[in-house]
Amino acid sequence: MNRVCPIISLLTDFGSQDYFVAVMKAVILGIVPSARIIDICHDIPAQDIRRAAFVLTCSYSYFPKGTIHLAVVDPGVGSSRRPILIKTKNYFFVGPDNGIFSLVLRQQSLVKVIHLSKERFFLTPISQNFHGRDIFAPVAAWLARGVAPEEFGPRLDSFTRLSFASPLVKKEKIIGEIIYIDHFGNLVTNIHKDLLDGFCQSAKDFRIIIRGKMVTGLVNSYSDLPKSKALAIIGSANYLEVAVNMGSAEKFFRAREGMKVEVWRR
């Protein structure tokens, strides 16, 4: 970890109309004035742990090694759900034990999980509904200052993992689903580039069906097709995406997360 200018990322569902994120940053800077705080996203829909897990898994690995990722989408705040710190090979993750780190932990080798229980690192009195401010931000900050993970509490043997739908691979088709729709209306599926490569001989060898509409083959650029045409592309997270050149595939297909996407071999 770079203890001179440690990097702390923030991911929450706090939105931008209140002061919640700012207060977390203020608490961090009060403990570790040299911290570099980077917002990943605060517009996760309220309580949507799964979306937060996906956003985190698409972004955490671009940060320098040693970055502390602070993720607070926390519908169980104030209940018995545990606050945790996870150390993996290259990063630290701080947040509630509700599955928000599930996808990251499919990729990163786990070193240890700590139950955050040492109140001396918390802001007191601890509020009932803002552990981002009172527990997670100060813990991330003390960690950034060099406190060892073990000092925050005992090790845990198990923690919450959410399951995420995997594509179903049949002889003639892959049945996947839309797992994420981005700001541009691009439809990100759970069909990974590698799965697709194994399934088809070439990018021209398949067609995609969403809600009865067909999209043929892969393009290399949105502008390979005329304006307002639907297209398929391998997106920046290495999953199959369906997009519309200069438009929104979300609107074009009236798509929603969870909808089925079929890839048929020709």
Q: By C-beta, is 7 or 195 nearer to a second copy?
A: 7
Task: Please choose, out of 23-31, 111-119, 206-214, 251-259, the segment that lies near a second copy by the rule CB under 8 A.
Answer: 23-31
Give CA–CA dist 9/63, Å, rounded: 9
Under rule CB under 8 A, which residues in 57-96 are in contact with a second copy?
58-59, 62-64, 67, 75-79
Give CA–CA dist 30/248, Å, rounded: 43
Interface with a second copy, residue 33, by CB under 8 A? yes
With CB under 8 A as the rule, give the number of residues binding a second copy. 66
- Give the torsion sign (CA, 1, 87, 107, 103): negative
Per-residue x/- mask for a second copy, residues 210 to 239, rule CB under 8 A? ----------xxxxx--------xxxx---
Write out the two tokens for 263.
């890839």
Q: How far is the CB of 207 from a second copy (least distance, A)?
A: 19
> What Cα–Cα distance (Å) separates residue 10 from each residue in 52, 69, 168, 256?
11, 6, 34, 26
Give CA–CA dist 219/231, Å, rounded: 7
Among residues 119, 118, 117, 88, the alpha carbon closest in space to that of 101 is found at 88
Question: What's at 140, amino acid-wise?
Answer: A
Task: Please choose, out of 16-24, 108-116, 148-156, 253-261, the segment that lies near a second copy by the rule CB under 8 A.
Answer: 16-24
Q: Return the bridge partners of 243, or none.
A: 231
Binding residues for a second copy (CB under 8 A): 2, 5, 7, 9, 14-23, 25-27, 29-30, 33-34, 36, 38-43, 46-47, 55-56, 58-59, 62-64, 67, 75-79, 127-130, 133-134, 182-184, 186, 220-224, 233-236, 241, 243, 246, 248
